[in-house]
Amino acid sequence: MLNIIQIPVLTDNYIYLLHDPVTGETAVVDPALGQPVLDVLNEKGWRLTYILNTHHHWDHVGGNLELKQKTGCKIIGAQSDRDRIPGIDIGVSEDDVIALGGHPARVISTPGHTSGHIVYHFAEDGALFCGDTLFVMGCGRLFEGAPEQMWNSLQKLKAMPPSTRIYCTHEYTQTNGRFALSVEPDNSQLQQKMLEVQRLRAENKPTVPSTIEQELATNPFFREDSLALQKTINRVNCLPVEVFAEVRRLKDTFN
């Protein structure tokens, strides 16, 4: 089994430490900071093998250079973003397979939030590290992509096995859920999910990971097919990508 540790940092970021107990190899996904990672490595007695970056934003690569300098780890990121990922050693692109000890992960290109965004799918472990592409009941803002690009990226994630666990980089779930309810108020699974989310957050517990199955039932960016949603946003009989674009536009100004 891949050992996965979730480290909350900054206001709403999660850093993930992955450890293969058989080989001792250890990776960190999107280290916003170095020190909190070093602390856990120390406590566990683990040595860092890799940094896996999903994209170049500072809250995902901020700890790269410190961790590389202090541990000698190798940094993996999108080949197309070599110029923007500090300290990158290994550039990867769509369908490349990397391995953490005995655990393979496929690289999937998901442009939209940024042009070079990638995600790491550990299919055998049923785990997806999706950075800022997919959030619990939400998706990343379109900083460097058109709606069509992000929609295509999300289709790749939507098609994964329903039991796949979604490890995203931010705890945006409560706000995302309020927005989701605004566009699909009668979705009973969504209502249920929000009660659970509110309970978890009241206890200061993470709402991440979620699963593809839960997202299919509750995430408005996965639910272009919902007639109720289409009606709320006045996009009945439109293309799925047009429904998606309107949901994204509405979310950008929701508060």
Alpha-helical regions (H) of 123-253: 147-158, 173-183, 188-202, 212-218, 227-232, 240-252
- Structure token digits, residue 87: 């300290």
Q: Which residues contact 165 (CB under 8 A, 6 or more apart)?
A: 126, 127, 128, 209, 210, 211
Catalytic residue among 19, 20, 30, 55: 55
- Structure token digits, residue 160: 């994964």
CB of 244 to Zn ion, least distance (A): 19
| 19 in catalytic set | no
Catalytic residue among 30, 59, 81, 125: 59
Interface residues toward Zn ion, by CB under 5 A: 57, 132
Catalytic residue among 60, 103, 117, 121: 60
Question: How many other C-beta atoms are found inside a 10 Å radius of the C-beta of residue 240?
Answer: 14
Nearer to Fe ion, 49 or 54 (CB): 54
CB of 25 to Fe ion, least distance (A): 25
CB of 93 to Zn ion, least distance (A): 19
132 touches Fe ion by CB under 5 A = yes
What span, in angstroms and rounded, lies between the C-alpha atoms of 56 and 85? Answer: 5
| 60 in catalytic set | yes
| 57 in catalytic set | yes
What span, in angstroms and rounded, lies between the C-alpha atoms of 217 and 187? Answer: 8
- Taking CB atoms, the residue at the shortest distance from Zn ion is 57
Q: Compute how many residues bind Fe ion; rule: CB under 5 A.
A: 2
Nearer to Zn ion, 57 or 223 (CB): 57
Question: How many other C-beta atoms are found inside a 10 Å radius of the C-beta of residue 45?
Answer: 7
Nearer to Zn ion, 141 or 201 (CB): 141
59 touches Fe ion by CB under 5 A = yes
Catalytic residue among 56, 113, 117, 121: 113
One-character DSSP codes across 166-185: EEESB--HHHHHHHHHHH-T
CB of 140 to Zn ion, least distance (A): 6
Residues that bind Fe ion (CB under 5 A): 59, 132
Where in the sequence numbering do the catalytic residues fall? 55, 57, 59-60, 113, 132, 170
